[in-house]
Every structure is written in C-alpha cells, then in structure tokens.
Amino acid sequence: MARARLDIQPIEEVQSLKSRTYDALKVAIGTMKIYDAGAELRLDERALSLQFGVSRTPLREALAQLEQEGLVRIAPRRGIFIVRKTKAEVIEMITVWAALESMAARLVTQVASDDEIASLHKLVDTFDSADLDAHMGEYSDANIRFHAAIIALSGCRLISDITHGLFTHVRAIRQRTIFEKDRARRSIIDHKEIVEALEARNGERAERLVREHTLKLRDHVEQFVQLA
C-alpha cells in the first residue's frame, strides 16, 4: 500500500505570554511620542497586568527584558519609567551604527554574490533626485531598507542583531529628525557611490564611504536635533 504523503506544516509554536507581552509592550512604547510629554512617564505593574490580561509574573519578565534593552528603568518601590534617550546617547548609537555598518560593507565585498550586490541597485535607483520633492516620505523608508540590506548581505548575524536593537531606540528619534531635501539629495549620491564601491569589490573604499555617510548623520543630529 502506498504510504500517504501529507504535506505537513509544523504546528505553529504558541508563544509564551512573556514574549507576547514583551512584543506588545515594545510596540506600545515604541509608538509612543515620549518626547512630547512633559513629566517622566511611569508604568504600573498591576495596571498593566490588568490591561494585558496576564498575571504579573510574565509581565515582570517582559519588563525586565525591556529594562535590559534600555527602554525602561525599574526603580524598586518607585515605579517603572520609560527612559528618554539623551542626545549624547543617540550620538553614541549612531557612532556604533557607523562602525558596524562600515564593517558590514567591508564584509559584503568579501562574501556577497554579484547578484546580491546588484540587488542594491534597485533600492538606490528607485529614487532619483528629480523624484525627491514628491516622495520624501517614501525615500525615508527606502533609505532605511538600503542600509538594512547592506547589513543583511554582510552575512554577519551579530551585526544584524545589534543594529536592529539600536534601531528600536532610534525610531522614537526619527520622528523628530527632519530630512531636508538637501540632505536627501546628497544622501542619494552617497548611496550610489557606496554601491559602486561594493560592485568594484573595493572593501576599503566601501567601508570608508559608509562610515563617512553615517557620521554625517551623526554630525547633523549633533548640530540640529534637540531632544527633550
């Protein structure tokens, strides 16, 4: 008798209450405009456990994880506070980003295939200087995807993880970062140069271009962005 061949999909793994609570909290905090509030924002374990419909135990574990990531600060018998990043901390995050993404660019020239590098073209070519005026919003997304793609193509999982963690923090800042037309225009030029260096397998140059590109953003934030 022929053996039945069911195309079985693995059972969806039900996530623990802890991780689901963690995700929900992260989204809630991430989308909150914490920099518009005057006073320091406080959370309450018991109130949250009621809102999420879980007991305090998984909620506490989720909060502890968020604390380790630096999104909240837990003060015993005081409360749980959403942390607002200082400008200096944001500067440091962008600096680390520059270090990691430039290393990623170097790795791309060593490990990525020609096709993979060519795929970056699409992300760059989509926006030409002429289109900028009308599509500033979309450009911002494409910009992020471009940098994420370089990191992904590096094949270094650790760099991906760390930068992903940083991005969570910077998201709140992004809402306040004004992307002027001039910066975007210059940014596109930078991106094209970066792709060229990657295609030429010029690791040194790609690394330098990426670093300088990101440090420009750092200096821009340093000069023009005001937090809190």
Partner DNA sequence: CGGTGGTTTCTGGCATACCATATAACGAAA
Partner DNA sequence: TTTCGTTATATGGTATGCCAGAAACCACCG
19 versus 86: smaller Cβ distance to DNA: 19
Which range of residues in 2-10, 75-83, 167-175, 204-212 is near DNA by CB under 7 A? 75-83
- The Cα–Cα gap between 159 and 157 comes to 5
CB of 65 to DNA, least distance (A): 12
Residue 33 binds DNA, judged by CB under 7 A = no
46 interface partner picked from a copy of itself, DNA, none, CB below 5 to 8 A per type: DNA
Closest CA to 94 of 28, 189, 173, 31: 173
Q: Is 71 in the site for DNA (CB under 7 A)?
A: no
Whether 199 and 117 have beta carbons less than 8 Å apart is answered as yes
CB 166 within 8 A of CB 97: yes
Of 52-60, 84-92, 107-115, 206-214, the window that binds DNA (rule: CB under 7 A) is 52-60
- With binding defined as CB under 7 A, does residue 51 bind DNA? no
Strand partners, 82: 72
Site for DNA in 79-108 (CB under 7 A): 79-80
Tokens coding 205:
């140059």
Residue 3 binding DNA, by CB under 7 A: no
Site residues, a copy of itself (CB under 8 A): 16, 18, 57, 60-61, 64-65, 68, 76, 89, 92-93, 95-96, 98-100, 102-103, 107, 156-159, 162
Residue count of the chain, please give it. 228
* Residue 60 binds DNA, judged by CB under 7 A: yes
DSSP string, 57-85: HHHHHHHHHHHHTTSEEEETTTEEEE---
Binding-site member from 17, 34, 41, 91 for DNA (CB under 7 A): 17
75 is an interface residue for DNA by CB under 7 A: yes
Could you tell me which of 13, 27, 17 has the C-alpha nearest to residue 66? 27
The answer to whether 52 touches 28, Cβ cutoff 8 Å, is no
Binding site for DNA (CB under 7 A): 16-18, 43-46, 54-58, 60-61, 74-80
